[in-house]
Each structure stands twice: as C-alpha cells, then as structure tokens.
C-alpha cells in the first residue's frame, strides 16, 4: 500500500513545534495499528474496545507512560470501526464537554 499523506490546511498557521510531534504521534499510532492488524486481524466488535480504552486510560493515570496514550488512540479508532457502544453515531455539531459555553 502506498504511503498516505495527512495535510494541515495552509490557511491555518500551525507551529512546527505542534505539528511535528503530532505527526510523530500519528506515525507511532499507525505502526501499532499495522502490527495489531497482523497479530489480531481486522476490528471486531466482540473485542470490546471501549472497555480496553478505559483500562488504558486508568493505567496512564497511574503510570504516566505514553505507551498507554498510543493504545488509547488505537482503541478509540477501533471503537469507531467496531463499536461496543450500541448508541454509536457521529454528530459533528455536538457541544464540547470540556468547553462549556464556548
């Protein structure tokens, strides 16, 4: 499969101090998705990714290990592909739960 590109819109000024580490994070995440696919196969609803995501967040809170953040990002993606949550849907207009009133 050819390399894929992720682009940041040119009309939005994003500092290299932000986007370089972001692309590194995405690459680390992509590496884990690829290895996980080889080991475990395609996303499968029975694997309960939402539950795994919560466990990784708890582990991250306890250890501070970035590895857990990478696992969380992968489980978030896998949950979107094979949701454990029966209410799964996409609404881009939903209000932020962390920025009330803004």
Q: How many distinct helices (H) and strands (E) make up the chain?
A: 3, 0
pLDDT band at residue 101 using 50, 70 and 90 as cut-offs:
low
CB burial of residue 96 (10 Å; 0-12, 13-18, 19+): exposed
Residue 1 confidence (pLDDT): 62
Tens of pLDDT, residues 12-22: 777 778 888 98
Distance CA 13, CA 92 (A): 23
Considering the entire predicted model, what is its pTM?
0.86
pLDDT tens for each residue of 45-64: 999 999 999 999 999 999 99
């Amino acid at each position: 499969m050819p390399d894929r590109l992720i682009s940041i819109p040119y009309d939005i000024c994003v500092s290299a101090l932000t986007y370089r580490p972001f692309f590194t994070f995405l690459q680390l995440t992509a590496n884990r998705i690829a290895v996980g696919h080889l080991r475990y196969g395609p996303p499968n609803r029975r694997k309960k990714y939402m539950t795994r995501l919560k466990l990784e967040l708890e582990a991250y809170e306890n250890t501070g290990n970035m590895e857990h953040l990478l696992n969380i990002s992968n489980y978030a993606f896998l949950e979107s592909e094979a949701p454990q949550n029966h209410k799964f849907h996409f609404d881009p207009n939903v209000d932020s739960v962390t920025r009330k009133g803004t």
